[in-house]
């Protein structure tokens, strides 16, 4: 992806549109369905907490940390955001903004090939066993009906493609990072594929692929994905946060929750998650001191 010609600051709407169009342009169509039986219908799945437990970008960051890409303090901060995201089930706007900056620092200066190779390893060690079986079954149902299935995620497009390919899905839409001669510059094309940008990406892909959005389905856990969910004729809230659950009930949308004992154990899990993150950070710090 070449640098943008103009460096004039873009507003949120412009960044979302650019991110969506870039994601659709970069979407790689896999061979899960060479000749779709239903070429006008498709399903769009969010990844974080919808298809996969927790945040995929955190799993990527942790894997990169293990390979000495950044410091223990940085991964401890990411661990807290991950614990908050998993237990509370709501994406904090400040956390999203901070993640945007962090995501750039993770890959800036590294090559596309490097990230792709790392992504393959990290999927096997940290992501594969976190796929929700219920959501995976929903995706397979659409494939079995002859429909195409795309992931739509804020994770880097390179990682999104790996997840889609490993699960036998059609392809993926993800955040597009700018790179020159195969090396990441530390800038995004537009913005993260988050919130309204997902809707722009789905619209652009539907136009390109000749999809009838009224015949399509979309799945997400987050109220922030309301734009994407509202575009299709068959929206479904999966492991929804409180706002999305309430909205889905009012609209008569399908709701699927594959979390077990979540509400009853929330208080205990919060304490355990925070303690676990703190313990991990302390242990990592001790290990660093021992090496020194």
Q: Which residues are catalytic?
A: 46, 48
Query: Which residues, 6+ apart, have CB-to-CB distance to 42 below 8 Å?
Result: 142, 147, 148, 149, 150, 170, 206, 209, 211, 216, 217
Within 10 A of 109 (CB to CB), how many other CB atoms are there?
Answer: 10
3-state secondary structure of 262: coil
Q: Could you give the CA distance from residue 259 to residue 247 in angstroms, rounded to a whole number?
A: 19
Listed in order, strand segments (DSSP E) in 39-164 are 42-45, 148-156
Element (H, E) at 286: helix 266-291
Q: Could you give the CA distance from residue 159 to residue 151 in angstroms, rounded to a whole number?
A: 11
Element (H, E) at 255: strand 254-256
Q: Which long-range contacts (CB under 8 A, 24 or more apart) does 111-115 make?
A: 111/179, 111/182, 111/183, 111/184, 112/158, 112/179, 112/182, 112/183, 112/184, 113/182, 115/156, 115/158, 115/159, 115/184
């Amino acid at each position: 992806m070449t640098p943008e010609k103009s460096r004039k600051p873009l507003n949120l709407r412009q960044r979302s549109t650019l991110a969506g169009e870039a994601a659709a342009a970069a979407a790689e169509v896999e061979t899960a369905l060479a000749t779709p039986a239903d070429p006008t219908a498709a399903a769009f799945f969010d990844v974080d907490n919808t298809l996969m437990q927790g945040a995929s970008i955190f799993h990527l960051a942790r894997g990169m940390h293990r390979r000495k890409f950044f410091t223990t303090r940085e991964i401890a901060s990411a661990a807290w955001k991950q614990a908050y995201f998993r237990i509370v089930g709501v994406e904090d706007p400040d956390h999203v903004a901070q993640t945007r900056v962090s995501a750039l620092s993770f890959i800036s200066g590294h090559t596309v090939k490097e990230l792709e190779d790392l992504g393959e390893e990290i999927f096997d060690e940290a992501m594969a066993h976190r796929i929700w079986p219920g959501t995976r079954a929903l995706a397979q149902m659409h494939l079995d009906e002859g429909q195409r299935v795309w992931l739509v995620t804020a994770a880097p497009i390179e990682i999104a493609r790996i997840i889609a390919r490993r699960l036998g899905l059609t392809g993926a839409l993800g955040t597009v990072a700018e790179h020159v001669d195969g090396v990441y510059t530390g800038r995004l094309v537009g913005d993260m594929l988050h919130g309204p940008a997902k809707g722009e990406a789905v619209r652009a892909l539907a136009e390109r692929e000749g999809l009838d959005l009224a015949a399509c389905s979309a799945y997400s856990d987050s109220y922030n994905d309301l734009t994407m969910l509202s575009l299709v004729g068959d929206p479904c809230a999966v492991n929804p946060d409180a706002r999305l659950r309430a909205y889905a009930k009012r609209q008569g949308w399908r709701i699927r929750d594959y979390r077990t004992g979540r509400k009853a154990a929330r208080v205990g899990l919060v304490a355990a998650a925070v303690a676990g993150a703190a313990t991990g950070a302390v242990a990592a710090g001790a290990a660093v001191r021992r090496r020194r």
